[in-house]
């Protein structure tokens, strides 16, 4: 019994020590450093507009209004852009269900912009592996320009204004070499929303 206790005591002490070290001290240190050095990223890269949380720069959102730019499709369940259930469709390139869903998206985009005969960028009709992509390519944003411009022109916003806004939101490759140029849809739409608000006459004038 004494031999057993002599073996259990150091094992228990080691378990307690490493539990405190890896379960409390290390997470607290990493969390503290993150909050000190990178507070915006550590808190989810949240975008605050007019005192409200518009979303995260890292998580895509659905936009259905024709007045705004649309995000890349999402296949997360049980609803699109579900950050708690990141996933793709898991459909292979030859799966008829994938072909049908892509064709349905093509038809919907063509119906939304009947005068736009330009080729549709692939990311506007295919979901990403995560289902949460917040970005689209500059080409995908500019493809939607005629629809968006047509809906905001009555507010005094020209197509040139909208195009300039898109180009302002083009982000280059990471470190100049990684990835591709991209446009964050949420940031672009928030800027467009502010442009729309500023173009509307103030009540009482």
**Whole-number pLDDT of residue 1:** 63
**Whole-number pLDDT of residue 175:** 77
Q: Tens digit of pLDDT for each residue in 74-101?
A: 988 888 889 888 888 778 888 898 889 9
**Whole-number pLDDT of residue 201:** 60
**Whole-number pLDDT of residue 150:** 93
Q: Tens digit of pLDDT for each residue in 11-22?
A: 788 888 889 989
* Of 146 and 50, the one with more pLDDT: 146
Q: What is the mean pLDDT of the chain?
A: 87
CA distance 128 to 61: 13
CA distance 58 to 61: 10
pTM (predicted TM-score):
0.79
**Whole-number pLDDT of residue 204:** 41
46-50, 94-98, 155-159, 195-199: range with lowest mean pLDDT: 46-50
Burial 34-56 (b: 16+ CB within 10 A, else e): eeeeeeeeeeeeebeeeeeebbb
Per the listing, tokens 């964050």 go with 184
């Amino acid at each position: 019994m004494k031999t057993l206790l002599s073996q259990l005591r150091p094992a228990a002490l080691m378990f307690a020590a490493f539990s405190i070290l890896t379960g409390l001290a290390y997470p607290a240190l990493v969390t503290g450093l993150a909050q000190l050095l990178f507070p915006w990223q550590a808190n989810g890269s949240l975008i605050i507009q007019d005192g409200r949380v518009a979303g995260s720069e890292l998580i895509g959102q659905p936009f259905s209004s024709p007045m705004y730019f649309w995000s890349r499709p999402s296949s997360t369940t049980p609803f699109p852009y579900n950050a708690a259930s990141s996933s793709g469709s898991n459909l292979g390139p030859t799966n008829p269900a994938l072909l049908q869903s892509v064709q349905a998206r093509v038809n919907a985009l063509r119906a939304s912009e009947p005068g736009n005969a330009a080729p549709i960028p692939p990311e506007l009709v295919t979901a990403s592996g995560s289902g949460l992509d917040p970005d689209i390519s500059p080409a995908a944003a500019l493809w939607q320009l005629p629809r968006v411009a047509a809906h905001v022109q009555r507010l005094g916003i020209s197509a040139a204004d909208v195009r300039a806004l898109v180009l302002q939101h083009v982000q280059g490759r990471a470190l100049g070499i990684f990835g591709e140029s991209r446009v964050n849809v949420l940031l672009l739409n928030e800027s467009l929303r502010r442009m729309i608000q500023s173009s509307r006459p103030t009540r009482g004038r």
